[in-house]
Chain A
Amino acid sequence: MQHAKVISIERDNKDVFTLVFDSKISAEPGQFIMIWVPGGKEIPMSLSSTSNPPAITFRTFGETTRTLATLKPGDRLFFRGPYGNSYPRPTGKVAYVGGGTGLASLNSMILKYDGDVFAGARTKDDLFLIKDGYKVATDDGSLGFKGTVVDLFVPHLSEYDYVFVCGPEPMVKTLIDRLDKKTKTRIFFSLERLMKCGIGICDSCSINGIRVCKDGTIFELQEVLKMTEFGISRRRESGKIEFFATAKR
């Protein structure tokens, strides 16, 4: 277990926060850490910046993240990691496609490599880390394109050499279903699954025997296409298979 002092914590929108912490961890964009709230739970979290000092950006959705949001500068942040592989270094024209809190993981790349950013959310109030020039989609049309970020991005795919995608599994599945599978664009996905250990031993996050935490979290399109469970089913905490509501079975 490592610990680091909190340098700052800022509110990005009504329930998203960015926490910068004083640590010299050597992490690459796309990697994650396991954050522990003493006396509470431990959860995986992508780094939204891997420079020095590093940062995490998170949505408060449970007790652990709500507790994290109450930390003050000088408080200790407990974590282990970094874990997982990282986004590859891109060449040529680059695009980033983020939905949900996916932009947090992609932000670590955006800070290092220029590219066009496509960001989606339900409403403009759910957006975060948005900068001038980003292409925005909202479900209700309250800002930017009315529709999903998948609708917004897919027509532009062939304009790019490298694309990096991070978002909820149903969104990523929709994107993959609508892609030209023979595209010459190299597309990489950061996948999200229930994780307990983060180090590749507990099997909670596995998809068709592929461990998201250790073999990923970053996979190229061809690897994801081989995962027949992707976007269809996942595991509960017990290991029982449950199907996505959006899955066509």
Chain B
Amino acid sequence: MASISTKVGNFSIENPVILASGILDETSGSILRSLRSGAGAVVTKSIGISERAGYPTPVISEIKTGLLNAVGLPNPGIDNFVEEYKEFPEKKRTVVSIFGGSVEEFVTLSRRVEAAGFDKVELNLSCPHVQGVGSEVGQDVGLVEDIITEIKRRTNLQIWSKLTPNVTDIISLAKASEKADALVLINTIRAIGVEIYSRKFVLSNVVGGYSGPRDKTCCLAGCVRCLQGNREGYSWGWRNYNMGRCN
């Protein structure tokens, strides 16, 4: 049988199917189930410094062309996360997604993740609907570069940098991520839905992100632009390239 094994940075995986962050990856039981059902790797829901409930419902809306969501980064906080994953048997195939509002927060989270026995983090630099974190951090080119540089300096973790499509110049973000081991493209596309009979927004947070079959084209555009950026002389390598979130 043909091998479909692949490498993302230094991470070898048996197959290239990776469960993206945010879907069925809040509980260790579900992550284990996904891995044992055939996923090559899983990225966890994003973890922050403190426990966070996320937004009230409705947090998703089914539309004809896919889904709108604004779950609001619910997470148990790094202390509870580490406690739950103490005995987790699949740490090498699990990438821990983290989010923060500053270089220090990202470094603190990364060190805790490494101390807990994981060797890969994905940086959520791209959540489109929470103030002060996600894409608000991820569109600041200097900050992205500082975050990655500091995590590299102070840990041995492999770093995946998840980019936002909600910027004019994704190439500059890719360039700012050149010290990362992989780029993940893309997070959801900022979107709003309205229910016309009630004249109300369909998500409690009003603003959310779109995902679905039609974002594949945007995802590919982001990937190709980053590759073109590479061709134009940026130093990050082709091999470090991960087409995450292509549906």
- Which residues of A are interface residues toward B (Cβ below 8 A)? 1, 3, 34, 36, 38-39, 41-43, 76, 78, 80, 196-197, 199-204, 206-211, 229, 235-241
Contact = CB atoms under 8 A, between A and B. Distances in A.
A41 B53 contact: no
A41 B62 CA distance: 16
B195 A1 contact: yes
Contacts of A34: 58
B80 A196 contact: no
A209 B76 contact: no
Given A42-B57, A196-B71, A237-B54, A78 B198 contact: yes
Contacts, number: 100
Given A1-B195, A38-B195, A239-B74, A197 B27 contact: no
Q: Contact residue range for chain B?
A: 35 or more
A83 to B, nearest CB: 11
A2 to B, nearest CB: 10
B75 interface: yes
Contact of A239 (B27, B61, B195, B202): B27
Contact of A199 (B26, B45, B60, B195): B60
B242 to A, nearest CB: 22
A235 B54 CA distance: 13
B169 interface: no
Given A197-B60, A241-B84, A208 B77 contact: no
- The interface residues of chain A, by DSSP majority, are classed as loop
A82 to B, nearest CB: 13
Interface of B: 23-27, 29-33, 45, 51-54, 56-62, 67, 71, 74-77, 80, 84, 195, 197-200, 202, 204
A203 B25 contact: yes
B29 A209 contact: yes
Contacts of B62: 1, 80, 199
A150 B122 CA distance: 48
A203 B198 contact: no
Contacts of B202: 1
Which 4 pairs between the two chains have the least Cβ-Cβ distance?
Answer: A209-B29, A38-B198, A209-B33, A240-B76
B20 to A, nearest CB: 11
Contacts of B58: 34, 36, 41-42
